[in-house]
Structure 1
Amino acid sequence: MPRRIDWESQIGRRLRLRDLYVFSSVVRLGSMGKAAQELGVSQPAVSEVIADLEHALGVRLLDRGPQGVSATVYGVALERRSVAAFDELKQGIKDIEFLSDPTVGEIRIGCPESISAAILQPIIEKFSGQHPAAVLDIDTVNTLSFAKKLRDRELDLVLARGGWPLESPELVTDFNVETLCDDELVVVVGQKSPWARRRKVDIAELHEEQWILTSEDRWNYQVISRAFKQRGLDMPKIAMKTISVHLRANNVATGRLITTFPRSVLDLYAGRFGLKPLPLELPDSTWPVKIATLRKRTLSPVVERFIACARDVVKSKAQATKGTNGLNGLLAVARRV
């Protein structure tokens, strides 16, 4: 069992940020030689830093082997906290930059294409008008993969659609999640489709049609599956599986295929591609859009301002577009602010 560590005598006076950075580089690259090359120092210098850290902490941080090095359980713990420490320092620099010029800064946003193609647009329009020097780095991650990027602090915030995994107990303990606005799932066809002329449609009538849907683990696929199951039917033939908004829109526009879209996406693309929602009700079709950030992480002021801007745009839409459906009203609000 490792001995109790005296912070003041063993760590506070001896541990340097440079040492932690060297250690993190070794863990990330899995090699002291590669870390030395990247850092522009000799391999013995890197080895000395690691040895000094292990001596100060009284535990082995790395396992050495012919294939390189890997972090021990103690090394993993130190690496995790080191990432957080360096991130807090970076946030501190961003705070200083913000205080000297509140219009600058970088915001790393993760969101699926269905949000970046619709709901995100008016938010960006307003925010960029207020902070023209701010840089928005948009990563089109899917909802299933955002958690790791938030934990690794590769993203500042994520815009995602509600449901699992956002409601998973494991994620709730790691992230702050709030509902930004409500959306809904609709069944969509092209204007050339015979179904576009129908005033009423039952989901069972669409069983023999060809569909474009996402994979089985996605919420929109599951909604359609439940709708057919309620009518005593299996899933219809899936002609194409994709999450691409543009691919679905272009193919459905031919009139030969059927798909689903969030209402916000349809409002944006309906006129451009000649799309139309079918007049049918789906079970549990409400699809809220949520903002997720890493719990206990200090956000930079510019990130906080972006989140506040997102709330303001959505709130303005609710107030100023009463009686107006969908994203068209949201875009109108953004153009006015």
Structure 2
Amino acid sequence: MSATSDTSIGPQRVLVTGGAGFIGSHTCVELIESGHDVVVVDDLSAGHAAALDRVREITGTRPVFERVDITDAAALDAVFRRHSVDAIIHFAARKAVGESTEIPLDYFDTNVGGTASLLAAARRAGVHRIVFSSSCSIYGSTGAHDLDESAPTAPANPYAWSKLACEQMIEQACRYHDEQRAVSLRYFNPIGAHPSGLLGEDPHGTPRNVVPYLAQVAVGRRERLQVFGGDYPTPDGSAIRDYVHVVDIARGHVAALDHVDDQPGMQLFNLGTGQGTSVLELRAAFAAAADRDIPYVVVDRRAGDVPRLVADIGAVRRAWSWKPEYDLATMCRDAWRFQKSHPEGYRR
């Protein structure tokens, strides 16, 4: 397990919004294995109830599940009445950069409106501790430098704008409510799957992220990968990202829960590996993991994308001793293990 300083505050009941999704379900595993009780709120627009069954297969415990839309204030109030919650980990959001340029108002409604609804319901219930799932995308176009938390924000698409707006809203809540505590995690590009092969990424419809698309090409569900942009100012012309294993990201959220009371206000940390990988390099790594060729075609750039996003993770290393455990080859092998054993996803 990746290292974190031993400051656990003991078992808690944690409300995980979006807990039936890719990162949320993996975080449920890590929470349960750390001794916490988990209540999941998810409307299943992107997640799968079957993922919670897999959490049970891995841990022996199925999270309590409430099918609720986070923009529904009355439904959230009812959840807080039914469950005595100690803290929140908030994942529930729309998350596709390209889609956000097509339906920007939907992104603001779900991501910003939903977060406001959640914060208000939590306050009414006396719950004042939250770990927020933010995004590296709020940094925008960055040039050749790795990004630390002091880098200026310059969101390049509505998804990124929505995440920055949520951060600002949470920071303001902390500023004016002394009891509010928060950690915002700007994580980079989570990929991979649980090493058991039971839990992984299964998007509804056409994947809008590169690794599930790669996996579906490798398993024969799609003809070829589309690489968006071959003329970026990078060594091979494709965009560079910091890919990080989903289990490392999940463990980072559990560490944040342990450290949310370290100081007043909102703490802010990057989660990544500090290693940049181009889309074409990722394709080659996944082809090696799957032991098969993955055809691809380079197409026009996608609206809202930037050339390079790579993390400087020095702050979280110093604060919590958190560091990623898994390398790119392992991320690809784990993602392929899940896809190979679930060629149609959870609907196998």
TM-score, normalized by length of structure 1?
Answer: 0.22
TM-score, normalized by length of structure 2?
Answer: 0.22
